Structure 1
Amino acid sequence: MRFSGLIVLSLALFLSGCGKSQTTDHSVHGGGHEAGSAEQVQAIFQVAASPAKSKEETTVTIQIQDMNGKPVNDFDLNHEKKMHLIAVGKDLSYYSHLHPEYKGNGLFTISTKFPAGGDYRLFADFLPSGKEKTVKSHTLTVQGEKASAVAIEPDRTLTKTIDGNEVTLNIDHLMAGMELNLTYTFKDAVTKSPIQDLQPYLGAVGHVVILDANADQYLHVHPTDEKSKGPEAKFMTTFPKSGVYKIWGEFQRGGKVFTVPFVVNVP
């Protein structure tokens, strides 16, 4: 099942440690499911070998269950996967889009390495059968030498070159609380010719994940035209409040997925 809308998850604060997870209500647009069903689902995050250490393989398990502790067994595919797990560093300089393996009985597991010590926010994005699309979060503290903090500063220009692809982001009427379009334009970085051979990534031309500077606001946006091959990819979203946001666009060309980050200030 596919959604072309967005998910907004409001979170109060970062948790320290790797014990219980923090979840809050969120709203779904374009999902077609009854509002409020996400409140009936909880996610328990655990690390197989605690504490987690940087640069070492870390296995994270995510148990999805109802409010009575009974496992949720059935999940619909959402862009070809039963769960998407977004992992970001506290300063948003680290970003990883993972796909945990479903083991049955509501249990998902993933092994990954974190590059440095510090706090990481994990966002589990999934669709229980018969319920609305759901996002649950957890903050994991990883031991090890911390990387130097990177300031989250708005980009002066919204054009970057990644893996030979020149990507420009255009945002119409950038303002909080208003529905707006995110339009990505792709050119070959050498020839400047329009790129028209983008390949589907997880069933669509691209995916966009957005977080505010404090990781309190989470948005996962899908394209309005999933079958586009370029030179444009368009997305529609609404920034919930004013502030600085980091936007990661994920696309695929030549069999390689490339991620384009931009930082914007939303009035």
Structure 2
Amino acid sequence: MNIKHLLAIGATVAGAAALPSLAAQPPLKGTFALPGVAEKVTAELVVRETGPLTRELQIAFTDKGTGRPITQFDEELTQELHVLATDSNFSSFVHEHAGKRGADGRFSVAMRFPKPGTYHVYADAMPKGLGQQVVRFEVPVDMTTGPAARQQMPVSATQGSDGPYTVKLNASTLRAGTESMMALTVLKDGKPAKDLGLYLGVAAHAVFVSTDDLGYVHAHAMAADAGKVGHAAHAAHGGHGAQGSHGGAKATVPADLMLHATPPRAGRYALWIQFKGGDRVRTVPFVVTVPAAP
């Protein structure tokens, strides 16, 4: 090998070392995902690959009326931005929050996806003065070592588990376009759970995603006897403000809860209920069918 070949190899290695550690994809445009609510924003997502199944998501909102970047947000459940994701089979669910927002209004969120696939990623925020706005992005996530085992969508409409916790749900009262109140009970090892705490200031979260049109509904639970949990006074999305403490307070949450939700349309929804059981956040999946209103 002569000196020219050695110099060429050296230049190639040096160039490779100078490459950035994060690979950015072209910006993604979002789709408004909150049925029945006026669309007041647009949003853009830049995805940076940080590992086989990890991504940095940079999200920026623009006021649709003025065309200007949005830089001020109200807190909803102690956070300015909730980012939620599910795969195309609705078999997994991720819920993360942004770090400190930049002066330009751009959020940065670190997210670990459970397996390869295409994910529906929802950015749920409250731009100041505009109310709740939700934008959906389609984010492909691939793993260099090969695809993971394919998982199926959960099928239960009445019961699901996470570790020793089981949630029993009565969704029979759900009706399209009408606020409905569902009863749920959290059991631990078959008995009413006694170690439940507030998660982001409420007794439990629920996220519905329509399997037909990917419409999004975010609702919150309260105690069946609301007087038992003062911090969980509201259940419908909107008007919560910054409830409770970040990450959940030490207040005791009863095992019997009520969940208020207003599915906008009839059809099938994937549903995830999240709550704090013991020392960690639990996620229990369901699939519910919402009939049309009488």
Q: Determine if the TM-score, normalized by the shorter chain, exceeds 0.5.
A: yes
- Residue of structure 2 equivalent to 1:6: none
Contact 2:119 2:140 in 1 (8 A): yes
Residues 37-71 of structure 1: CA deviation (Å, up to 9, x unaligned):
x42x221101134xx8633x311100122245532
Deviation at 1:153, TM superposition (A): 5.5
1:80 to 74, 78, 81: 78
SS of 2:31's partner is coil
- CA distance in structure 2 between the aligned counterparts of 1:26 and 1:264, rounded to whole angstroms: 19
Look up the SS of the partner of 2:221 in the other structure. Answer: coil
C-alpha separation in 2, matches of 1:84 and 1:263:
22
- Partner of residue 134, structure 1: 133
The separation in 2 between residues aligned to 1:95 and 1:26, in whole angstroms, is: 18
Alpha carbons 2:220, 2:259 under 8 Å: kept: yes
Shift, 1:211, TM fit: 0.9
Q: What letter matches 2:264 in structure 1? A: P
Per the alignment, residue 259 of structure 1 pairs with 283
Equivalent position of 1:162 in the other structure:
162
Query: Matched residues in 1 for 2:269 and 2:75: separation?
Result: 28
Instruction: Provide the alpha-carbon RMSD of the alignment.
Output: 2.5
Which stretches in structure 1 are left out of the alignment for 5+ residues? Answer: 1-16, 29-34
Letter in 2 for 1:140: V
* Contact 1:76/1:129 (<8 A) preserved: yes
CA–CA distance in structure 2, aligned partners of residues 27 and 245 of structure 1: 14
1:60 aligned residue: 57
Larger Rg: 2
- The TM-score normalised by the length of structure 1 is 0.78
Give the distance between the partners of 1:87 and 1:117, measured in 2 at CA.
Answer: 13
Say if 1:18 and 1:139, in contact at 8 Å, map to a contact too: no
CA distance 1:154–1:241, shift in 2 (3 Å): farther
Aligned-pair identity in percent equals: 27
Q: Which runs of 4+ in 1 moved over 4 A?
A: none
One-letter identity of the residue aligned with 1:150? Q
Which position in structure 1 is the counterpart of 2:109? 110
In structure 1, what is the Cα distance between the partners aligned to 2:272 and 2:154?
A: 15
Pair 134,247 (structure 1): closer, same or farther in 2 beyond 3 Å = same
Give 1:237's match in structure 2, choosing from 246, 251, 261. 261
Number of matched residues?
237
1:180 aligns with 2:180: yes
1: CA distance between counterparts of 2:152 and 2:113?
20
More helix by share: 2
